[in-house]
Amino acid sequence: MSSSSQKNDSIPLVKQARKPASQICNYSLGSGNENEIKLHESLLLRFGPFYCKDDDRSLKDDAWQHVVQKSPDREAVTNEIYLGAVRRVEKQARETYADDDKVNNLTGSQFRWMMIKDGCLFLQLALFVLGGSKQLGYSPDHKIFGKKADLSGWIRSMFFVGNQIPLVVLRELMKQSFFQQVIIAHNQGKWDQPKDNLCKIVLYQLLLVPPTFDINQQNRFESNKFASFLKGLLIKRSKPNPLLEAACDVLHGLHSFIVGPEIESNDANNDDEEEAEEEDHDYFDDLEAQRAGGVVEQQGEDHEGARFGPILPIADEEEFIVMGNIKDRKFSSATKLRQAGIHYKLIEDKGSRSIILSKNMMRAYLSLPPFIVDEYTKILFRSLKEYEIIQQLGENETRSYLRFISELIRTPEDVKELAKKGIIRGRQKHKDKLPDILGRLAPRDIYNQHFRLVKIKVNDYARPPWAYLKKYVELVVVLTMIQTVYAILSYHHSKK
């Protein structure tokens, strides 16, 4: 390492923002746990301090040397530029990791070079996934970025719990010349926003939109440079998503994208929750009475194919509440709900927290966010399920959402019903597999309060009487018009 870099290592750290609410946590299930060992061994690439191995060092060194060779400055200058970029956010990056011992054991120089090399490899993989393979400048037979790239393996590694580089580091690296050149070289800076691939959508929003937006803002004020002005016109303008901007890593960003922003509570919602709790108590009063009478219901499926659990002994009543099986026996699929008069409405950019049943005088609407299914759906949602467990997120939002959607979508007909409204998105071959995918992903023992409330509202919905009268009124109007036309024709015929 150059003497100048050693000199810079002694520069005091810049004071950064407060400690992030969410942190990167090590996926540790216990010493020697076989499942944990299998999960870690299955990682093709390891990023950050938790799972690092010497086996990965050569790949990271190669990725870094590629950046150096493609950068406009000499190697020593490029080193200083990247070290300075990471140094600016080092304090915040260290605080992003939850395991203080592992991070604190790294010297300033070790931590910065880990962030640089791991981060540059991570970003090159992300740009490769987003369609920038040509702009990265690798040969077609490259072992990572070649035509035979193992995208499933890379994506699993990039979204694995704890196998993360802080977004604050990745965004600093994206501002450097190599990555800016890749962004601009791709179709003159026009990166089309992905629509039917969840992994690409999240990577685009988290990593590509912020630096692209920065370039656009910069070019707007460089009006004295004709080339910069033209470049600013050509580059597609996209504004960052504030919710994803606050994420601490890529997996956190994926979770935020799925669940959406916090929904402000109001008195009406509180009343609905109290009503839901009352109905829950009524249900268990009926259960106890049923038990006293010696009636035991068996586990199975109802006539609509809805899954429901066994009636548990009173001693297991608390477990039954946790499992959240309240009114599962009545909850119908998307096709059945539509036949019952419930319509579907697409809500964009709000996530699963915004799912709600709303009613007006004539009909009810179940508002749902888009669910994107692709070849990586299972990989991403499995990581999200593990993420919620490790982060100890008590609301279990992703797992509850998966179960809710799995009950709505049981057959290809349910997929078609929701796809008509743009709620299910993806290629047809992936849509056809969605019921099976959800059946494997959705847990049987998770349902949070939000989705229990939505289910109770759906189950209790009944069409208003005037909704049935509407059809009769329409029929009467049609018959009246026919009768009027017939009367006019008869009158003219009699005149003749």
Q: How far apart are CA 483 and CA 343, in angstroms?
A: 34
Question: Do β-strands 356-359 and 342-346 pair in parallel, antiparallel, or remain unpaired?
Answer: unpaired
For the sheet containing 342-346, what is the strand order?
A: 342-346, 364-368, 356-359
Buried-state track 96-119, b at ≥16 Cβ within 10 A, e below 16: bbbbeeebeebebeebbbbbbbbb
Which residue, 209, 211, 218, 214, is CA-closest to 238?
Answer: 209
Residue that is written with structure tokens 């035509």 in the block: 147
Q: Render pLDDT for 138-174 as a digit per residue (tens, 0 to 9).
A: 988 888 888 777 889 899 999 999 999 999 999 999 9
83-87, 238-242, 284-288, 428-432: least confidently modelled range:
284-288
Q: Render pLDDT for 358-417 as a digit per residue (tens, 0 to 9).
A: 988 778 899 999 999 999 999 999 999 999 988 888 788 999 999 999 999 999 999 999
Kind and range of the H or E element at 41?
helix 34-41
- Work out the average pLDDT over 120-129: 96
Q: How far apart are CA 441 and CA 380, in angstroms?
A: 11
Share the mean pLDDT of the chain: 77
- Work out the average pLDDT over 246-268: 84
Is the confidence at residue 232, as pLDDT, over 60? no
How much of the chain, in percent, has pLDDT values that exceed 90? 44
pTM of this structure: 0.76
Domain ranges (residues) in the chain? 3-259, 267-460, 468-496
